[in-house]
Amino acid sequence: MRKRRILSYLLVVWMAFLLAFPMTTAFASSKVYHVPIHDEVERGLHAFLERAFKEAEENYAEAIILDIHTPGGFVNAASDIAMLMDESSIRTIAYINKDAHSAGAFLALHADEIYMVPNGTIGAAAVIDSAGNAADLKANSAWLAQMKAAAETSNRDPKYALAMADTRMDLPEFRAGGDNLLTLSASEAFDVGYSEGTVLNFQELLAATELKGSDIVPVDPTFSEKLARFITNPIIVPILLSIASLGLVMELYSPGFGVPGIMGLSSLGLFFFGHMIAGFAGYETLLIFIAGLALVIAEFFVPGGIVGILGGVLILISLLLAGANMSQMIMSIFIAFVVAIIGMVILMKFFGKKMHVFNKLVLKDATTTEEGYVSNINRTDLLGKVGKTITPLRPAGTMQLGSERIDIVSEGSYIDAGKDVEIIKVEGSRIVVRPTKKEMEE
């Protein structure tokens, strides 16, 4: 009986210990983060992936599956994302869920493993500029080196990575060479070691990678991140800045503050919002812009021009600092400036608009004679009166008329002092005289 009691006590203590310190780690399933890389690869995508990788690391994820379906994108953005993947200690799997072209192929090569759907493709990774033309030799050489390094890092034959970006690589068995870049199908990628396998769907991928039964954590971009990706696109940035510049220019030609001004400020607000969400701009950049805008507004009330110039410089600095790429931002600002100039010319030449913003700064009223204003007393009552010169007239001088001394000017000839003169003309403050007939006879 006593032994039973002791055993019961020990069992209760053991159960209490288990309840106090549950062995969760023994029964918890591993976490796998499912992250999409869809549409174009750009700088906004980097900010989203940075958040996804950070969350995966904080939650001790076993693997990150990158669901890739992209036509490519921008080299600088792809390079930053690849660096993010290389720095992560978590197992990364590229799941090519249709196409991984250009920058997409480059990112797939930085993953630890690559799996493809049966109709998936990988390749076509030539560098092109914003106009759709082949990049210059310098940019192309750097990209080829990066493609080769990506393949070698993942222990894959680099000649296929080079053929994806360079038509000089001749691989006729894969339709590459001449004018064609290498693009591998799922089966071809598996044959040359550019894929670990072909799977029908995501569940087969989990089974093939021994992750079946794991807790799948989908990571989708938030609305703010989607908006930031759109706004920070290098094609959208110059359009946004052009709308802002055109709206503010139109506001200068409009009475009061209306739709053009709201349009301009809203475009600038979207620009800074997107770049702050994407992590390219901080609050200090926004404060620099606000300070510059305040100085430009103050220029309308403080003469000199220095305040306005300083404000304009601060605005330009804030835009450059907020941008993801300095050269792209310079080009975007230049485009916006050209659009603003064209807008001003159209408004002035074709619509005859004037800058209403300066109406309060420029004096428009005039005190004309027609409206009853005179600059001095017009002494027309002096016409025909005779007085005596006090000083010689050469031709200006002074005369005495009764008790009044008057400044006068002769009609042209010299008149000595003490001579009688007649007032023949009054033009404002100018009083013209000539000798009287009596003086001329003498």
Q: Smallest Cα–Cα separation from 358: which of 259, 253, 262?
A: 253
Between 123 and 19, where is the model more confident?
123
Average pLDDT, the chain: 82
Which of the residue ranges 36-40, 203-207, 355-359 would you say has the lowest mean pLDDT? 355-359
Residue 438 confidence (pLDDT) above 90: no
The model's confidence at residue 147, banded by pLDDT at 50, 70 and 90, is: very high
- Tell me the percentage of the chain whose pLDDT exceeds 70: 81
Q: Which residue has the tokens 């349009």?
A: 263
Q: Token pair for residue 367? A: 């005190």
> How far, in Å, CA of 361 to CA of 161, rounded?
65
Between 24 and 183, where is the model more confident?
183
Asked whether the beta carbons of 136 and 75 are under 8 A apart, the reply is no
Asked whether the beta carbons of 127 and 134 are under 8 A apart, the reply is yes
Q: What is the per-residue DSSP string for 188-250?
A: HHHHTTS-SEE-SSHHHHHHHTT-TT-EEEE----HHHHHHHHHTSTTHHHHHHHHHHHHHHH
pLDDT, position 132: 46
pLDDT, position 2: 56
The model's confidence at residue 129, banded by pLDDT at 50, 70 and 90, is: low
| Predicted TM-score (pTM) of this structure | 0.63
Between 91 and 265, where is the model more confident?
91
Give the count of beta carbons closer than 10 Å to the beta carbon of residue 207.
Answer: 12
pLDDT, position 17: 52
Coil, helix or strand at residue 156:
coil
Q: What is the pLDDT of residues 333-350, one digit of tens each?
A: 888 888 888 887 787 776
Q: What is the pLDDT of residues 369-384, one digit of tens each?
A: 555 555 556 777 788 8
Q: Token pair for residue 222? A: 């938030």
> How far, in Å, CA of 357 to CA of 361, rounded?
8
pLDDT, position 81: 93
pLDDT, position 23: 44
